[in-house]
Structures are given as C-alpha cells and as structure tokens.
Structure 1
Amino acid sequence: MKIAQIAPLAESVPPKLYGGTERIVSYLTEELVAQGHDVTLFASADSVSDATLVPCSDVALRLNPAVQDQLPHQLVMLEEIRRRAHEFDVLHFHIDLLHFPLIRDFADRTLTTLHGRLDLPDLRPFYKTFADIPLVSISNDQRRPMPPVNWAGTVYHGIPADLLPFTAKPQGNYLAFLGRISPEKRPDRAIKIAAKLGITLKIAAKIDNADKAYWEAVIKPMVESHSNVEFIGEINEQQKAAFLGNAGALLFPIDWPEPFGLVMIEAMACGTPVIAFGCGSVPEVIDCGVSGIVVDSVTEAVENVEWALRLDRRKVRATFEKRFTAERMARDYLNIYRKLPGVRTKAAPRRRSNGQAVGLQVVA
C-alpha cells in the first residue's frame, strides 16, 4: 500500500528527547516499511526514517528558537498534503484536528489517531461537527467523553521488540519515575511513596515552560527535602534502557484520564513491573499481578511495592511481547486501513527474508 504518515512538527520523528506521539509515529512508520509498504512521512526535516521523508519544517518547531507561532508551519504542511493527497491509498494523521476541514473530499481513505485527552469541553462541538471522519483511539477509556463519532478501532501503542533489552536482575535498588513534571502526572505522589518506604526514587523528567511554576513551588522543594529522591532531568532513548531496566519498579502515579501511557510498556519491555494508579487506560494496559499492580492511593501503593518487586520479570517481558510490540501495532493499523471505504487497493501477504508472512503487498 502507498501510505502517508503525517506527524506533528513540534518534535522530530523520532524525537530527540521527550515526545510520545512522534515516537509512536516513528515506530509505526519503520515497521510498515519493514513489512514492504511504500510509506511517505510528512515531518520535520531533522527526522530520520527509512520511509520517504517530506520535510515540512527545517527542524522540529520546539527546538527552533526563531519559531514563535507553530500554526503557520503546520498549515504549510497541510497545503503540501492537500496537493499530494491523490498519491496515497491511505493518509494517516497524528496531528489532532487541524486537518479535518481539508480532508472532507477524501476522508474515506484517511485515518486519524487521537493521541491526547478528549475530555476537554471545547472538543465536543468540534467532533460533533466532524462525526464522519474515521478515528482511532489508543485506549477504550479515551473514548468515554466523546459524542457519537466514526470510531474505526482502538489500537494500543507498540514499540520495537528489540528497542529496550530485558533486564533479568536490575542493578539498582530504586523506584523510577519517567515522563514529565506536571500536576496530572503527580510526581508528588511518587515522592510520598518513596518517603514512606525509605527507598530511593530516581526521577527522569522533562519540565515544560507551562509547568515550571509547579516545579518551583511544589516538586523542587519536595526533592530537596528528601535525601532518597534524585532528580535526573530529561533523558534520551539510549539512557532510558538502563534507567528503566535497573529499576525495581516504575511508579506511574497519574491523576488524569491518561489516554495510553507509553512509559508503562517501555518499562514492561525491560521486565520492570509497574505500580500505577487506576486512571484512564491503566487497567487496560497493566495485567494486575502479572506486569504490575493497579492501585488507588498512596497508601495502597506503599502496601503493594513489595509485591511488585517480587513479580516475575520474565512474565512482565512476555506480557509486553504478546501485547505491545510495534509489529502488532502495525498489523492492527493495516487491518483498519483495508476496511476504510475509500481504500480500493487489493493486498496480499508479503514475506520477510525468513519466509514468514507479514503485512500486505499491493497487487494489481
């Protein structure tokens, strides 16, 4: 199939540091290419991909100090997509909602994955207006606040099976927090859990400009007042394997309707169990008692840390391999692409060099 993947321009694909959506776009794009599809990636020029790259900004917009308003750059990308839309069997958007008016005439061969929260009141009239556009959710819970829309499916995120190595025996006696310093991610809960247990907590997290006040007023004083808490800052992909793999468990103490929670499956890939608060997608992602523990309070988390640390790390990894690989994610999306009413390309199984049937191959 000829597939267009349309990524946000805020970060490169894959991102240099933090950037969950762009990371998923990268994993999906590379897996589709590996399965023999003709993939074109619309993204920033500093992106790296085996797909055909259409550069839509010189660098990721967040990294360009000259960019004061991202909207004009995004509209330039949409114009390029409008001009070339006829070239593709499927156009897969990962950019929220700006493209909806543009795709009216060919919406039946598009797919839009919604990567963010959908409980914001301003979104409801928008999605009621564009109720025919094919959408994908990244968890079933993500759908709850939405009006009736055209759901094409739910596709859980996946990462390459060989991206993060399994660690059977972690070298560090610590709990990990990885992600972003923000009120909804609740790093304060992670600190309270570690403080009650007297165990080391390592925090590897990005601080956005919007969250600097929260960091200064709430989290930084807590870090400075607990000797067992270490703030590392933002880490890259190479550092992530050691950080997650050497942790006894990952703390995911969220307090918001998390659409998916990529860090949970990254920890699982390392064999590291997850202690997560049962918000949003968490009960769908965590197999409680196998890949982690789902809790409802700091007290309950403290009471279950010992249990989590005793979970079989091989079973944690096996759960990841069964449910959350990029190959499975790409297979799910391909099944949805084929069912889109505007997609008329017939497809047959392709084969890797080892003879295993994977993906689809366009045939006349």
Structure 2
Amino acid sequence: MAASGHPVAEPFAGGLESFTHTLVRGLARRGHEVTLFAPAGTDPDLPATLRTPPEFAPSNVSLADRNAPPLRWMQEHHAYLSLMLDLSQDRGVDIVHDTSLHHLPVAMAPLLPVPTVTTLHAPPLPWIESAVTLAPQCAHFAAVSRATARAWSHLVRAQVVPNGVDLTRWTPGPGGEHAVWAGRIVPEKAPHLAIRACAEAGVRLLLAGPIHDRAYYTREVRPLLGAAADYVGHLSDAGLRDLVQHAGVLVATPDWEEPYGLVAAEAMACGTPVAALARGALPEVVGRAGGVVVPAGDPQALAAAVRQCLQLDRAAVRAHAEAQCCADRMVARYERLYASLISAGRAA
C-alpha cells in the first residue's frame, strides 16, 4: 500500500512514490500478482490491480466541532481504516507490504490473517512509534538504509533492504559542466545550500522538483536564482534523466537525517557524481566511489566537493551504482523477506 496523499505516477511527488512504482514493476516482472492501494491518478500502466481509497466527507455537524482535525487527516485516516478492515476479511492475499508511513497499517496488523511488512522511509515518527508499542509482535519492518535502521533501533529491529533504481532506465550520459539539484523543494532538503555552494564553486546550478513549501521557496530559494542558478520545474522521469545525464555533478544538501537519498542513486546510475552533505544515509549510498561527501555545515567544503566531482570518472560512478543501487537486487531481497514471513506465519 502506498501513501494516500500522492498518486504513484510521473512526475513523482517524492522518493516514496518512485520507490513504490519501481517495486510494483519489479514484482510483476518476477511473476507476482500485485494489488496496489494508491490514490486516483496512479499510473494506469502499472502491472497491478489498483484499489483507490474510498471518498470520505465529514458531515457539517461533525465539522462544527471546534476540535475537528484537518480534512486531509480525516480522509487519510478513513482510507487506511477502510483498507485494513477489508484486508482483515481477505483470504486472497499472501502478504501486505506497507510503504505509506501511516500508523494504522502498523497498529492494525494484528487483525490481518497474513503478515504485514512496513518499509521505514523516514526517521522515527511519533505516530508510528505509538503503533509499534501496540502491535510489537505482529508488525515487521524493513529499513531503506543502515542509517535508518539505526535511527529506529530503539524500538524495532528492521531488516535493511536498500533502495534501488532501474538501471535500464537510469543509464549513463555524457555529463556536462553544470550542476543539478533534484527533489522536493522543502526546508529539510535545503536547496538554498546547494545554490550557495555552487555559486562559490563557480558552477551553474539547475534545480528540479515539486515546490511543496511555497513559503520556503519564496523566502529562501527564489531570491538566489538568476545568473548562477535556475529552477527548471517539476520534470517527468524522462526529463529528469536527461537533465542528470547531461550534468557534471548532482548536489545533495539534506538538512535532516536523509533516510536514503534516491536522487543520489539515480544520478550515479547516470554516471553523474554526487557532492553531498554527510547526513543520514548519504555517506553509505554515495560512498567513496560515487562522489564526494563532506561534513554538514561546511559550505566551503561543499563548494570544493562540487568542483572535485566534475573531475571524477563517470564510468566508475556508474559501476558503483550497479554494485550498490540496483532495483533488481532490492526486489529480490523483498522477495526473500516476504517468503520468510509467509513461512513463519504458516508455521505458527
């Protein structure tokens, strides 16, 4: 099940939607029958049976309650409550894979006749922490990186299943002289840091991605655009691939503990080195072969990393991606995890 807030379709709202798209396609290629719970607007060409969340509109009487939660919160709550109740009566499912970051699939896992595995795509979230304490023996977890598994280790033991990208779609490109920043334009992704570092490095920067926080963009990003940097919009996968393939470096500037860093993997698959801040999983994803990782809070070091990446061997960067960021390997690991949980469930 995907997050209910954004369709699983290009242009992807974020890495979670891209991950779900890749996983569904990979499982189907391996012969699995997949049912995907995702919002309307999800890619109709995905090889899966699509289940969309039921619509819910609170009555005017209930909305008059001064303590009524936001409408979107209620709609998400209703969507996952409905799905989990339906699944509790469904005998045609072998396993449930939750990629939603919502608490109800975890809390209601004990109601299901089959195992539930939740992929942790974020640092610890209080709602999910609460759910885990209520269903500690019934929910199973995978983490997208060792860093994310460590972040959750106070509460759960998560099997590390690193994210991957489709290496047949993200293919090597010729590179170029400019830099790219890609992702959700929000404070925790901090594209303003990339603009400043590239300006100091004397390298033009192109930014791509959805503006999820308009106030942040207006306050911190837009004033820095101009001769040294430009915002090129929210691109399709094909458009983003072309942009990255023709870039000399991708700059990753998280101002939070990055759970994985899918854009870094995509860039390296194109042979484009990554200049990154050492937050969360980026040191393990980029490593020493995929680019240059520098301490957070050191803009001069990041500027130097941008310049250094322009000189790196693109073939070696691609080879690193093939060894560490392959979607086929990710899907195979999930297959093994599914099989072990199904087998344990039957034995019990």
TM-score category, normalised to shorter length: 0.7 to 0.9
Q: Taking structure 1 as reference, are residues 107 and 321 closer, same or farther at Cα in structure 2, changes over 3 Å only?
A: farther
Q: 1:324 to 1:190 in 2, by over 3 A?
A: same
Provide the residue aligned with 1:9 in structure 2: 4
Inter-partner Cα distance in structure 2 for 1:122 and 1:44: 22
CA contact (8 A) 1:185 1:256 kept: yes
Query: Is residue 327 of structure 2 the alignment partner of residue 332 of structure 1?
Result: no
- Going from structure 1 to structure 2, the CA distance change for 1:18 and 1:10 (only over 3 Å counts) comes to same
- Corresponding residue number in structure 1 for 2:193: 189
Q: Structure 1 residue 107: deviation in Å?
A: 7.4
Listed one character per residue, the Cα deviations across residues 261-318 of structure 1 (whole Å, up to 9, x for unaligned) are: 1101110111100001000001110122x11110112111122323211111111111
SS class of match (2:181): strand
Partners of 1:14 and 1:343 in 2: CA distance = 33
Matches within 5 A, 1:51-70: 51-56=48-53, 68=72, 69-70=74-75
- Contact 1:206–1:234 under 8 Å retained in 2: yes
In the other structure, the counterpart of 1:222 is 224
Correspondence for 2:148 among 130, 142, 157: 142
RMSD: 2.2
Q: How does 1:257-276 map to 2 (within 5 A)?
A: 257-276=257-276
Deviation at 1:108, TM superposition (A): 6.4
- Kept in 2, the 8 Å contact 1:200–1:229? The answer is yes
Tell me the number of residue pairs that the alignment of Structure 1 and Structure 2 aligns.
323
Q: Does 1:174 align with 2:178?
A: yes
C-alpha distance in 2, partners of 1:39/1:245?
Answer: 32
| Higher helix residue share | 2
What does 1:1-364 correspond to in 2, within 5 Å? 6-47=1-42, 48=44, 49-56=46-53, 68=72, 69-71=74-76, 72-84=78-90, 86-96=91-101, 97-106=103-112, 109-118=115-124, 120=125, 123-132=128-137, 133-146=139-152, 148-167=154-173, 169-170=174-175, 172-208=176-212, 211-223=213-225, 226-288=226-288, 290-296=289-295, 297-340=298-341, 342-344=344-346
Q: What are structure 2's unaligned runs of at least 5 residues? A: 56-70
Cα shift at 1:105: 3.8
Q: Which amino acid aligns with 2:215?
A: A
Partners of 1:249 and 1:275 within 8 A in 2: yes
Q: Does the C-alpha gap of structure 1 residues 147 and 287 become closer, same or farther in structure 2, counting only changes over 3 Å?
A: closer
Higher percent of residues as strand: 1
CA deviation after TM superposition for structure 1 residue 255, in Å: 1.6
1:131 and 1:148 in contact (8 A); partners too: no
Tell me by how many angstroms 1:122 deviates: 5.8
**CA separation of 1:45 and 1:215: change in aligned 2, threshold 3 A:** closer
C-alpha deviations, 1:214-251, integer Å up to 9, x for none? 1122221122xx41211112111120111111110000
Q: Given the superposition, is the C-alpha separation of residues 17 and 325 from structure 1 closer, same or farther in structure 2, using an over 3 Å criterion?
A: same
Aligned partners of 1:306 and 1:338: how far apart in 2?
46
Counterpart contact for 1:337–1:343, Cα < 8 Å: no
CA distance in 2, matches of 1:145, 1:273: 27
- TM-superposed deviation, 1:127: 3.0
1:123–1:41 distance in 2 versus 1, CA, 3 Å: closer
TM norm structure 2: 0.85
CA contact (8 A) 2:109 2:115 kept: no
Return the alpha-carbon distance in structure 2 between the equivalents of residues 152 and 26 of structure 1.
22
* 3-state secondary structure, aligned to 1:70: helix
- Amino acid of the residue matched to residue 174 of structure 1? H
| 1:121 shift after superposition | 5.3
